[in-house]
Amino acid sequence: MGEGMGSFLPLILMFAVVYFFMIAPQMKRAKREKKFISELKRGDKVVTKSGLHGKIAELNDKDNSCVIETLAGKLKFDRSAISLEMTNKANAPAK
């Protein structure tokens, strides 16, 4: 019986390593992005995942979209198209 448990130990350890180095950080990042999207407000400067810079002009909770005002005009985007990392970098104070 002890020999059977010994053969499962490497499999259990491998699962633990995958969980702590891949699954848990991804879940944490998804939770952080969801919180960021829910806290967006009018006037926030944002960057979309495609690299478009602008300011939020309108937020629509019905279809989870937002209108972003750019130098070229206003464009409607899905809120999930806004990049958390790029927005934080764009709004960071210059060194």
| Tens-place pLDDT, residues 44-64 | 999 998 989 999 999 998 999
| Number of domains forming the structure of the chain | 2
Same domain, 53 and 64: yes
Task: Identify whether the C-beta of residue 45 lies closer than 8 Å to the C-beta of residue 57.
Answer: no
Q: What is the amino acid identity at position 27?
A: M
Same domain, 48 and 62: yes
Question: Quick check: 85 pLDDT over 90?
Answer: no
| Confidence at residue 6, expressed as pLDDT on a 0 to 100 scale | 75
Question: Quick check: 9 pLDDT over 80?
Answer: yes
Question: Quick check: 39 pLDDT over 60?
Answer: yes
Domain containing 70 equals: 41-95
Residue 4's CB is within 10 A of a number of other CB atoms, namely 7
